[in-house]
Amino acid sequence: MNTLPNNLKQISLFLERLPGIGEKTANRLAFYLLRLPERDLKEFAETIGSLKSKTKLCRVCMNLTEDEICSIDKDTSRDHEIITVVEEVLDLLSFETGNIYKGVYYVLHGKIDPLNHIGPEDIYIQQLLDRVSELTSSRVNGLKKTRIKEIILAMNPDMEGEATAMYIRDRLKEVKKHNGVYFKITRLAYGLPIGASLEYADYMTLQKSIEGRNEY
């Protein structure tokens, strides 16, 4: 029998709906919130309450932001001629964590998944194509000026990710041909992770590792 006060029980039940949170963890988090100072709890509640209204999509790259343009696209020190296309904002955060990339991004907010009735029109592919077309159709002194050097397709290496990458690649080739410009379209490399053992690698990983091998 659940002997928690009703308000605390409702908080626990809500937390239990979050990804990766079970009943015991939800109860512990609910008690943690109860023990917070009143001021901290009110600040937390206000932040949660304004989450939807304050969070919007960057009009340039579809990243999450509180402004019209996100901080990455505002950063003049980054290389805006290299665009990495990712499925979700969490993928973008993975790139940013290691400080390994100095270009900009475009977030699709999903991937093509016919089994779940998600097609190209259900994610932000057309907006990406419009952005690329705009960046490659400008003219300086009557000559076309390409403001893109490379587009990196960084979809996940699963069936849906591959289908999404191939669809975008083909559409980008159409933009290149239509605008009469050139820029590289690349895909993230596959291979063995650092510290991995060949014994436990699946055949597809080994195949991609062989195909993508470099001179040593």
Residue 1 pLDDT: 39
- CA–CA distance, 133 with 4 (Å, rounded to integer): 58
- The dotted CATH code for 6-54 is 1.10.8.420
Q: Residue 54, Cβ neighbours under 10 Å: how many?
A: 10
User: What is the average per-residue pLDDT within 58-84?
Assistant: 95
DSSP character for 134? H
3-state secondary structure 46-98: HHHHCHHHHCEECCCCCCEECCCCCHHHHCCCCEEEEEEEECCHHHHHHHHHC
Domain residue spans in the chain? 6-54, 74-187
- CA–CA distance, 182 with 169 (Å, rounded to integer): 13
Residue 186, beta-bridge partner list: 152
Residue 149 pLDDT: 94
Q: Could you tell me how many residues make up the chain?
A: 216
Nearest to 169 by CA among 182, 157, 147, 187: 187
Q: Residue 31, Cβ neighbours under 10 Å: how many?
A: 13
Binned at pLDDT 50, 70 and 90, residue 189 comes out as confident
pLDDT tens figures, 8-42: 999 999 999 999 999 999 999 999 999 999 999 99
Between 133 and 200, the more confident residue is 133
Q: Is residue 97 scored above 90 in pLDDT?
A: no
Is residue 58 packed enough to be buried (19+ CB in 10 Å), middle (13-18) or exposed (0-12)? Answer: buried
pLDDT tens figures, 164-174: 999 999 999 99
Any idea which architecture 74-187 has in CATH? Answer: 3-Layer(aba) Sandwich (3.40)
Q: Is residue 140 scored above 70 in pLDDT?
A: no
For residues 155 and 161, the answer to whether their CB atoms sit within 8 Å is yes
Q: Which residues are CB-neighbours of 30 under 8 A, at least 6 positions away?
A: 4, 8, 11, 12, 15
CA angle, residues 167, 111, 134, in degrees to nearest 5 = 55
Sheet strands (E) in the chain = 56-57, 64-65, 79-86, 103-107, 139-140, 143-144, 150-153, 184-187
CA angle, residues 6, 11, 90, in degrees to nearest 5 = 170
Domain 74-187 in the same topology as domain 6-54: no
For residues 26 and 13, the answer to whether their CB atoms sit within 8 Å is yes
